[in-house]
Structure 1
Amino acid sequence: MNELSSSLIEMEGAGNKDYLSLPTNDLLDAFGQGSHIPGSGSASALSGLIAVELMKTVVTLSLGREQYSEHASQFEFILNELNTRSKPKFTELFNADIQVFHKVSYHRRLRDTAKENTPEKSENAKLALDRLREATDIPIEICETSLVLMEYAFRIFDNGFKSARGDSGVAISNLLSAAQGALFVVFLNLKSFQKSKWKEDKMNEAVKLAQRFTKIQKEAYQRVVTLYNENTDNQQLTLDFYK
């Protein structure tokens, strides 16, 4: 662990920093500085935020164009949902992951530096696990939010401004990344817990999300095939990518 990471962990309020207000280069540097925050959970939420903005771009480009007018009411509804629900939700989850995981690391540090067989050591060990439970719920919610949004992303790709399908396709990819990244975090966090009903319930919840992810991933790849087929008469690209 580097010196910067160590000093950050020891600052009780370090998780309250508003990383999303940083200039882009500074935010990227924060992810690469070797610290515990911002970490993988907030990175997944950031992927979701980028997807939301790309979806908004394609919807905005589609509205007002005659050839997409039959979908105008649908696009207006989606745009409102993205602005009032999806963006605030991913922003909340981005910040919450930083705040909660910092608490996990903070109490782990106090646990590790406390003397053996002392109330301080046992209390901080308990607090670290309590916060880790919260830190496991957050990526589950990131995954769920991302998978739910895929329905809108597919509609935008299929019915929106065709020349912006690069944007809508990257939005789909970012939502897949957010969902899968969140699952990595969940399954890793669960390794820290002993067998219990809570762990079993969370594992079952994550497995169901993973199953949904796999199905949606195949649907997403169909859009890649669509663009491929528009460029060639040799329609050999298939969906058999699990062989």
Structure 2
Amino acid sequence: MIMEFDFSKITVEELMFELGKGGHKPGSGSAAALQGMISAKLAQTVISVTKTKKFRDKYLGVIPDLTVRYEEIENIIFPNLVNFFKEDAYYFDKYIQAMHEYEKSQLAGDFYETSRRRKEMAESMKMAVRIPLEIAEHCVKLADTALLAFKFGCKEVRGDSHVSLGGAIASLAGCLSIVQLNFLTFCIVHFYWTTEMSTWYNKLKNDYARLKDEIDICIGILEKEVADRMTLYSEVTSFLEISKTDTQWSDEEIEKLASDFLNMLWKHHQTIWKTELTDSRQVLDPQTIFEEIFDYDFGMLPKLDDNDDGSECAGYIDQRERHIVLSGNYKNVVQNFTAAHELGHALLHNQHILHRDIPLDGSHTIPRLPEERQADKFATYFLMPKKKVVNSFIKQFGKSKLSIDNDTAFNLLRVSTSELREKCKSLREFTILVASAEIYAGKPFKSLAQEYRVSVTAMARRLEELQLVEY
């Protein structure tokens, strides 16, 4: 056992007392090792969270590298730092004891004892240089691991990875200062040894400069994310100041509000979805919007209670408590339209009471109260935005409008025009066929209804509104 007293085995309170009582042990080298130990455990925490089932799929690319680094911390870095903590206190204590004996022998005029004690001090001080360099070397590895975890590991625990990074860099900086201070005690006799240690020191100093730049970059990343989020909140707040004015919006005005809101979502999609989306249709996601922008709790229950009139409830919004709840008793297209309908209420209206909605999928034509009709219209325009639907239509069918003619009849069903008219006796029947089509001119694709996660009839009505079909 290298020390008479093992500082790694006492309580935190006792350790803090020992560090602050004014003694020479444990000293700055041991404190640097302790700081490294804390950084090591924080880095392991980030790696462990990144590998949990909840986040594993998202971070598959970096997990193998992080796993190797976890094992290095567990089996090499942390145990070594514990030993360095003990050794630094031990050897610096030897130096202090030798110094006291040196001073006594000087006062006593004992020339040979003074010389012996001076050599003993030099050998102990060499260890007081080498150990901080070892600690610094380990902290460089820890900092690189924390940096990797911050940039590519679980974002939800970047506080831990950043503190790990900062602690490792602080420990490294402290060790560099300790080494320079201790170099001052060596004379010309130790020139070659000091030169050798200086080469090691300079390599670590370069690592320190690199890591200082990296931690500034990391702080900048977080500052930008905060600024981006505040910009988003500012724009959404300005949008709500216009949209929630209880105005009896026309259909054209609601469509413009939906379009403006969608453009805002796409502009800020990285801030909201925390990733780079590849298609602007991916922002047609009411749940994420409610949760990430408006801080609503979004729930799904197997079945909701009936409305007061006995009709089944498909979902409800409580703007006061910030709750959205959908019934799982309906098809996905009903749930999706209901969620978008509730989003319409959240953006357009100021309901402060629990508001319950009947099951709808956007295909209905029943009479509705003004607020309900506005929310329906918003859901339609939100889930089936004009520009996107038109682009999808042209991409699938190769033209900006489908009519019942020879070309359309053959490419849709491989039939004649008269046979297509026999099958589709009205505009609605024709648009339903188009909205549900999964192949045209021999080219397979998702139907428009499937692509936009709405009912076939809802998509058919939208195609008619956009005059993409004619009978």
TM-score normalised by the chain length of structure 2:
0.46
Letter in 1 for 2:120: L
Matched, 1:50 2:38: yes
Aligned counterpart for 2:163 among listed residues 152, 170, 188: 170
How many residues align? The count is 223
In the alignment, which residue of structure 1 is the partner of 2:202? 207
Aligned counterpart for 1:16 among listed residues 4, 20, 36: 4
Matched, 1:197 2:192: yes
Matched, 1:100 2:91: yes
**Matches of 2:206 and 2:48 in 1, distance apart?**
32
What is the aligned-residue RMSD (CA, Å)?
1.9
In the alignment, which residue of structure 2 is the partner of 1:144? 137
**Matches of 1:76 and 1:211 in 2, distance apart?**
27
Query: Deviation digits for residues 165-221 of structure 1, max 9, x if unmatched?
Result: 000000000100110000111000000111311122222331332122112210121
Alignment of 1:2-41 (within 5 A): 15-41=3-29
Distance 1:202 1:72, change over 3 A: closer
Q: Which runs of 4+ in 1 moved over 4 A?
A: none
Letter in 2 for 1:86: I
**Matches of 1:185 and 1:232 in 2, distance apart?**
39
Q: Which runs of 5+ in 2 are unaligned?
A: 232-471
State the Cα distance separating 1:232 from its structure 2 match: 0.9
Letter in 2 for 1:232: A
Give % identity: 26
In the alignment, which residue of structure 2 is the partner of 1:238? none
- The structure whose residues are more often helix, as a share, is 1
Q: Is the Cα contact below 8 Å between 2:43 and 2:142 reproduced in 1?
A: no
Aligned counterpart for 2:120 among listed residues 121, 127, 131: 127
Secondary structure of the residue that 1:34 maps to in structure 2?
coil
Q: Is the Cα contact below 8 Å between 1:146 and 1:178 reproduced in 2?
A: yes
Query: Deviation digits for residues 67-103 of structure 1, max 9, x if unmatched?
Result: 2233332232222111101111111111110111111
Secondary structure of the residue that 1:79 maps to in structure 2?
helix
**Matches of 1:189 and 1:138 in 2, distance apart?**
12
**Matches of 1:208 and 1:59 in 2, distance apart?**
28
The structure with the larger Rg is 2
Q: Is the Cα contact below 8 Å between 1:142 and 1:182 reproduced in 2?
A: yes
Secondary structure of the residue that 2:186 maps to in structure 1?
coil
Relative contact order (alpha carbons < 8 A, sep ≥ 6): 1 or 2 greater? 1
Query: Deviation digits for residues 31-80 of structure 1, max 9, x if unmatched?
Result: 10110100000111111000000011111111122322333322322221
- The structure whose residues are more often strand, as a share, is 2
Secondary structure of the residue that 2:23 maps to in structure 1?
coil
Letter in 1 for 2:224: N
Secondary structure of the residue that 1:211 maps to in structure 2?
helix
Letter in 1 for 2:70: L
Distance 1:14 1:110, change over 3 A: farther
Letter in 1 for 2:128: A
Q: Which runs of 5+ in 1 are unaligned?
A: 1-12, 236-243
State the Cα distance separating 1:15 from its structure 2 match: 4.2
Q: Is the Cα contact below 8 Å between 1:139 and 1:182 reproduced in 2?
A: yes
Secondary structure of the residue that 1:230 maps to in structure 2?
helix
**Matches of 1:93 and 1:178 in 2, distance apart?**
13
Query: Deviation digits for residues 9-40 of structure 1, max 9, x if unmatched?
Result: xxxx9943110111001101101011010000
The range that moved more, 191-200 or 21-30, is 191-200
Q: Is the Cα contact below 8 Å between 1:15 and 1:37 reproduced in 2?
A: no
